[in-house]
Amino acid sequence: MRILLYNPDNGVTRNFMPHLWMFLLQALTPAGHEVLLIDGNAQPMDEEGIARFVIEQKIGLVGIGAMTRMIAKAYRMADAIRAAGVPVVMGGPHVTEMADEALGRAGSPRHADAVALGEADETWPKIVEDAARGTLKDIYAPVDAFGQEHKPSLQSYPPIPWDTINLEQFNIVPKLVTPMLRKLGEGWGTFRIIPVESGRGCPYGCEFCTVTGFFGDSIRFRTNESVVNELLLLKARARSERGQIAVFFIDDNFAINIKRTKSLLRDIIAADAQVHWVAQISANLLRDEELVDLIAAAGGKWIFIGMESIDAANLKDVNKGFNKPGEYAAVLNRLAERNVFAITSFIFGMDNDTLGVGERTLQEIRTWPPGLPIFGLLTPLPATPLYKRLEAAGRLTRPKHWQEFIPFAMAHTPLKMTIPEAHAEVKYGWAKSYSPEAIAKAVASIAHKPLGYRINILIARLCFRGIYFPQLGRFAWAKTIVQNRRTILGLVKEAFGARRAARSGTSFRLFASITARPSRGIRVKR
Ligand code: B12
Ligand code: SF4
């Protein structure tokens, strides 16, 4: 049977990274079936296009995965596929919580023939076999022989064949400049960000988060060996293509068990498996100096930190009191000293937020090393404790907000400001952080660091701008480049100057910090 795995586009950004679930389920598919992957962010498709595709390609089963924000599109695509006579199975965090909605049991039309609840690592092979026999059931739940919920152990994680998978749709380098960039340094002909998981689960239970409910509060890890082997495979592929690969460790809290994270990082270093990587780690865990040393030595470049708010009362309200705003600056400085920077995520529209929260937050951010601040709104995702609290209090203004998804729009009334005021605070945060002046300042603030770090900050800021300000087409990109021409030209000039100096004997490598091995100067215990 030919199977198509499809992830709908998010309607905001182009894909900078493939979705891991597709590659994982592909690797777990029983022998004898062929699996095709389409990520809507990389290969945009409409209902008509996908219906035509499944007929032309003789697809026998389509699997669709989606977060809440893409579910309306996922349902539309599923409807078109089913109308073309091909069965659809849906999985992922939204339908796990809203299975009745997907199966048409909630008074609305049916969108899926079957729903996979929760983690599907162990149910997927069964779904495929049932579909091949034409005996798909409505619901596949991860339960043991006694009907008890069973979370897959990650000890026997399947090797994902990154060396042979076609990753063409995920190359971020524009085709036009590929031949030129291939010749640069260690080669930039391709640049891909690849998702890798080293563990699942987070016990912290922040009120707005799906993770503790979905993956559970028991944490499971892959073996160090299997993670290291995956990195080595990716590294070899990048080298053979004269391209670059960076890894996004998608674990919700990569250092949730510090002892184990340190042991993984030591094994990565020992195996020379360093690639540049990003990981999500909560601020409280970054107090550990040795951990931060190891992060830098093992290739860590960007750490995503869910700071959420600079107001301790807000943090307490959402059960995230373990975040201490007073230590944010120290944490970020500790990282920056090792040339690791942070993506700092904030949520506005929390219950203790008042007018001016955007500016108050920016005042703090301006005292920190440059990073990538991002701003969102408190969003009641289905089945989270937040959703239940707001529903019970009658505060949901759009209880089924996913059915008419609007980016950056609240679905409940905040306590101390209006919905439009909260929206304006988010806009203010983005506009002030990603203006050409702010980008120039961020780059200038690390003028003492090698050129590569400044190029890194510049490119990252230009890309992150697109999360809020539409930057999908060539015209939008050209406009952004023109607006930031001074900063761009300044760095280009410096790069050419340095290149000339290198030719005349001074040792220097363009993109040193991006293409070269991660920091070697830090001493770490093995
Ligand atoms: C990586 C990631 C991202 C990436 C993008 C996705 C990508 N390209 O990988 C980035 C960083 C961009 C991102 C952004 C956002 N994310 Co995000 N993200 C994640 C994260 C950390 C990992 C996803 C992952 O790969 N997991 C590992 C895989 C193996 O798990 P999985 O996807 O759940 O798949 C398993 C099952 O669900 C199931 N399954 C999934 N799909 C399918 C399909 C079929 C057919 C079947 C059978 C089974 C199946 O089988 C898989 C194996 O068991 C998750 C949290 C988490 N740990 O999952 C949050 C998460 C998915 N994100 C979330 C959210 C809310 C967001 C944002 C909206 C945040 C924001 N406020 O801006 C944005 C929106 C992004 C956008 N514009 O589209 C929520 C989604 C909740 C929900 N109900 O939708 C999660 C769960 C985190 C949370 N805090 O609650 N995200
Ligand atoms: S620490 Fe992160 S992953 Fe864990 S519950 Fe809180 S928001 Fe979710």
> SS in 3 state form for 40-56?
CCCCCCCHHHHHHHHHH
Among residues 277, 245, 195, 156, the alpha carbon closest in space to that of 20 is found at: 195
pLDDT bucket at 508, cuts 50 / 70 / 90: very low
Instruction: Give the list of residues 6+ apart from residue 277 with CB closer than 8 angstroms, or none.
Output: 246, 247, 248, 249, 298, 299, 300, 301
For residues 209 and 180, the model is more confident at 209
Residue with tokens 């929206």: 423
- Count Cβ atoms below 10 Å from residue 113 Cβ, excluding itself: 21
Token digits of residue 368? 């920190």
Measured by CA distance, the residue closest to atom 6 of ligand 2 is 206
* Beta-bridge partners for 247: 194, 277
How many residues are present in the chain? 526
As a whole number of angstroms, the distance between CA 369 and CA 294 comes to 20
Q: Which residue has the tokens 């000293």?
A: 337
Ligand 2 residue neighbourhood (C-beta within 6 Å): 202, 204-206, 209, 211-212, 252-253, 282, 306
**CA separation for the pair 61, 42 (Å, rounded):** 21
**CA angle at 252 for the pair 251 and 253, rounded to the nearest 5°:** 90
This prediction's pTM: 0.92
Per DSSP, the chain holds a count of helices (H) and strands (E) of 21, 14
Q: What is the token pair recorded at 225?
A: 């060996």
d(CA 22, CA 301): 26
Residue 167: pLDDT band by 50, 70, 90 thresholds? confident
Q: Candidates 210, 217, 248, 348: which one to mutate for ligand 1, based on the most atoms within 8 Å of Cβ?
A: 210
- Select from 250, 280, 281, 345 the residue to mutate for testing ligand 1; criterion: most ligand atoms less than 8 Å from CB: 250
**Does ligand 1 lie within 6 Å of residue 410's CB atom?**
no
Nearest to 285 by CA among 325, 265, 255: 255
Q: For residue 157, what pLDDT is reported?
A: 95
- On whether the CB atoms of residues 451 and 491 are closer than 8 A, the answer is yes
Ligand 2 centre and the CA of 75: distance in Å?
A: 28
Cα(497)–Cα(514) distance, integer angstroms: 18
What are the two backbone dihedrals, phi and then psi, of residue 307, each rounded to the nearest 5 degrees?
-75, -35
Count of other CB atoms within 10 angstroms of residue 244: 24
Inter-axis angle of helices 451-465 and 474-483, nearest 10 = 130
- Atom from ligand 1 closest to the CA of residue 18: 8
Cα separation, 435 vs 433, whole angstroms: 6
Torsion angle in degrees (nearest 10) through CA of 359, 361, 363, 369:
-140
The bound ligand whose nearest atom lies closest to the alpha carbon of 284 is: 2
Weakest-pLDDT range from 160-164, 338-342, 373-377: 160-164
- Give percent of the chain with pLDDT exceeding 70: 91
- CA distance readout (Å), 88 to 50, 76, 138, 193: 12, 12, 11, 29
Is residue 113 in contact with ligand 1, taking CB distance under 6 Å?
A: no
Band of residue 409 on the pLDDT scale cut at 50, 70, 90? very high
Take atom 47 of ligand 1 and give the residue whose Cα is closest: 91
pLDDT tens digits for range 207-260? 999 998 888 777 999 999 999 999 999 999 998 888 889 999 999 999 999 999
From 315, 335, 337, select the one nearest 325 (Cα to Cα): 315
- pLDDT per position as a tens digit, 144-162: 888 888 899 999 999 999 9
Who wins on pLDDT, 190 or 365? 365
Q: Which among 128, 147, 83 has a CA at the least distance from the CA of 109?
A: 83
Cα–Cα distances in angstroms (integers) from residue 243 to residues 154, 345, 515, in the given order: 30, 30, 10
The pLDDT value given to residue 166: 81
Antiparallel, parallel or unpaired: β 220-221 and 199-200: antiparallel
CB 249 within 8 A of CB 175: no
Other beta carbons within 10 angstroms of residue 218's beta carbon come to 9
d(CA 152, CA 134): 26
Tell me the CA–centroid distance for residue 142 and ligand 1, in Å.
18
| pLDDT reported for residue 514 | 40
Residue 525 confidence class, pLDDT cut points 50, 70, 90? very low
Buried b (16+ CB within 10 A) or exposed e, 362-399: bebbeebbbbbbbbbbbbbbbbbbbbebbeeeeebeee
Averaged over 297-303, what is the pLDDT?
97
pLDDT at 516: 39
Q: Which pLDDT band, with edges at 50, 70 and 90, does 10 fall under?
A: confident
Task: Classify residue 286 by its DSSP letter.
Answer: G
Q: Is 69 in the pocket of ligand 1 (CB under 6 A)?
A: yes
Residue 509 has pLDDT above 50, yes or no: no
Mean pLDDT of the chain: 91
d(CA 370, CA 373): 9
Q: What is the mean pLDDT of residues 93-107?
A: 95
Structure confidence at residue 515 (pLDDT) = 38
